[in-house]
Amino acid sequence: MAIGIGVLGSGIVGGALLRRLIEDRQALGARTGLDLEVRKVAIRSPKKVRSFPIPGHLVTTDATEVVSDPGVQLVVEVMGGLEPAGELVRTALRSGKAVVTANKELMAARGSELLDEAAKAGVSLLFEASVGGGIPIIRPLTETLAGEPLTRVMGIVNGTTNYLLTRMEDGAAFDEALAEAQARGYAEADPTADVSGADAVAKAAILASLAFGTVVDPAHVYREGIEHIQSVDVGYASNLGYVLKLLAIADKAPEGITVRVHPTLVPSAHPLAAVRGVANAVFVQGPEVGELLFSGPGAGGGPTATAVLGDVIDAARELLAGPRVTPRVRFGPGRVRPFEESTTKWYIRLRVIDAPGVLAAIAGAFGEAGVSIKSVWQEGRQDEATLLMITHDAVEANLRAAVSSMSDLDVVSEVAATIRVQSDEP
């Protein structure tokens, strides 16, 4: 029996998927025992030149034709965005069609609602490609590790920012690295979603929700991008034994869940420190499994299409097996606590007057805020010096108070940089 497939979107990922579904149909059938037949493809612009020429009889510019076609049992959504993708996915599920999506924005904002719709209809909603491109991480969190009380999920989930920081580590300035990334196709003409951390926020919300069984709204994820990162701090970090990464971090403690995206100094011996270029990686911790690392290509048509295709095969098998009884993902109550309550440590770079009493004044500001200094380095003499400090773990709100107090000191010319340092404890 052939499984009719409808595809919403034919961009980079959609084109790579269609090529494999159409050109490799017989080979896929031989490997999987499934007959996967593309029956309808919705596109926005018929005149656009595409990486894979879609047979004309499959094409429609009306996306509703895909979800309403009785010959389509499985809908693949690779168009992106909240709408009309959200309504199309919901309509497909309510019509009893299985859905596979790569849409991180949609699953972060409405994943719980759509998974409920899938459960009511007894069909699959699979979204492996929504985080980490070709890296298998959604299925491990929802299946293999479903019984493990995970305490942390932390990862590099944006290839553009990882490329930029890698090039800065190699000595390039931010603007130079960004121009290279755009020329190579690693960054969009408008890279705001990447460098601001917004792209990583959606992925962090998905990972945290699945890891801890509590719905995490993207609005509750703390966000800080890499726009203000300076090459000098990347260099100092390297000298101190750290590598700078933009991390998505989700921690679970008795007080609740904290989810954040921000630049982080990672110890050079940590597995994430070795993840360079456009690669992605997700680091998972639990009391029984210890530490697990999932890494690989986090974007691109081919790797992402592989993840989508894996979900298509899984969903097709479930369609043939009959309605599902037990939903794959269940969410329960849980507190997402404000980031200000969490415990972190900071790297701080100060420009100070090189005079007696400077360290005492700065130490006083830290002490009044309840923050302990772990290490101090000084560079420069004469009129002005640079102080580099790394604190011990402290409450985020207290660290901010200490920095605010230091800014008012006469001996401090400038608080030039503050970057969080990866802590071993949630």
Catalytic residues: 203
**Rounded to an integer, what distance in angstroms lies between the CA atom of residue 327 and that of residue 24?**
31
Q: How far is CA 208 from CA 133, 140, 160, 249, 425, in A?
A: 17, 13, 22, 8, 17
**Whole-number Å distance between alpha carbons of 62 and 44:** 8
**288 vs 298: CA distance, rounded Å:** 27
How are beta strands 74-77 and 98-101 bridged, if at all?
A: parallel
DSSP class of residue 143 equals I
C-alpha distances in Å from residue 238, one per residue of 130, 299, 391 = 32, 27, 17
Amino acid at 348: I
Which residue in the block uniquely carries the two structure tokens 């309403």?
Answer: 68
Distance between CA atoms of residues 106 and 207, nearest Å: 14
CA atoms within 13 A on the CB side of 33: 4
Distances (CA, A) of 91 to 17, 118, 127, 313: 22, 10, 17, 21
d(CA 211, CA 152): 8
Q: Classify residue 119 as left (phi > 0), alpha (psi -120 to 50) or beta.
A: alpha
Give the type of residue at 398: N
> 59: which 2 tokens?
């094409």
Please give the Cα distance from 53 to 70 (Å, whole number). 25
Q: Are 124 and 321 in contact (CB under 8 A)?
A: no
Instruction: Give alpha helix (H) positions in 77-103.
Output: 85-94
Which strand (E) or helix (H) includes residue 282? strand 279-286
Residue 245 to residue 248: CA distance in whole angstroms: 10
